[in-house]
């Protein structure tokens, strides 16, 4: 890890808690800050009805409005972006965030959480973030069944990413 840890922000959306667990592990490993994306509406529950609701929103191309951010990503040296995988793609709240905030020339690392195949999630995020330095990406599979291992892996990965950031005097 660099002698001085980069100011780190972990921006994430979590529906069932897996992405939140990984985001917290990354933030703790780097003594960083957390910023949870909060959409204006979500379905009740976490079962089949929720997945159908999200599918319907995707079909309608309806991205949620997000609550105002309480941190400015421009104040950080390193930003991690995390999302659950929905239908082999990033979540609608993460899509809304990436459209709302234009990142340029930032140090970014991307992660997703899923039960199996992440599909195009990370590549779609990279496409939305052209013009930035993507320092790495990571998929965390079945976090609820492997929580301890996933948290350790997230901490290790975060430290590897942070070691790549060259800090500049401001």
| The model's pTM | 0.88
103 pLDDT higher than 60: yes
CB 111 within 8 A of CB 137: yes
**What is the architecture of the domain spanning 8-38+66-162?**
3-Layer(aba) Sandwich (3.40)
Instruction: Tell which residue, 4, 76, 14, 18, has the closest CA to residue 42.
Output: 14
Query: What share of the chain has pLDDT > 70, as a percent?
Result: 82
- At 116 the pLDDT is 87
The first and second tokens of residue 166, run together, are 């060259």
Query: Interior CA angle at 111 toward 108 and 113, to 5°?
Result: 165
The first and second tokens of residue 89, run together, are 């793609």
For the stretch 60-96, pLDDT in tens is 566 788 999 999 999 999 999 999 997 788 988 999 9
The structural domains of the chain, with segments of one domain joined by +, span: 8-38+66-162
What mean pLDDT comes out for the span 100-126? 93
Between 141 and 64, whose confidence is greater?
141
Which of the four pLDDT bands, split at 50, 70 and 90, describes residue 40?
confident
Angle between helices 147-162 and 18-30 (to 10 degrees): 40
Which of the four pLDDT bands, split at 50, 70 and 90, describes residue 3?
low
Query: Interior CA angle at 111 toward 22 and 19, to 5°?
Result: 35
Which of the four pLDDT bands, split at 50, 70 and 90, describes residue 169?
very low
Query: What share of the chain has pLDDT > 90, as a percent?
Result: 68
Coil, helix or strand for 141? strand
Q: Helices marked H in the chain — which ranges?
A: 18-30, 48-59, 92-100, 121-128, 147-162
């Amino acid at each position: 890890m660099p002698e001085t840890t980069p100011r780190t922000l972990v921006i994430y959306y979590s529906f069932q808690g897996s992405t939140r667990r990984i985001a917290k592990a990354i933030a703790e490993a780097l003594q960083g800050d957390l910023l949870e994306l909060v959409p204006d509406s979500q379905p009740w529950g976490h079962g089949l009805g929720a997945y159908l609701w999200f599918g319907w929103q995707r079909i309608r191309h309806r991205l949620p409005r997000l609550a105002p951010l309480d941190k400015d990503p421009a104040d950080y040296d390193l930003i991690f972006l995390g999302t659950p995988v929905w239908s082999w793609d990033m979540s609608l709240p993460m899509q809304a965030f990436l459209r709302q905030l234009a990142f340029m020339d930032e140090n970014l690392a991307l992660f997703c959480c899923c039960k199996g195949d992440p599909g195009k999630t990370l590549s779609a995020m990279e496409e939305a973030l052209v013009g930035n330095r993507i320092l790495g990406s990571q998929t965390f599979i079945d976090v609820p069944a492997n929580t301890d291992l996933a948290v350790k892996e997230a901490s290790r990965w975060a430290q590897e990413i942070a070691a790549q950031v060259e800090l500049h005097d401001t």
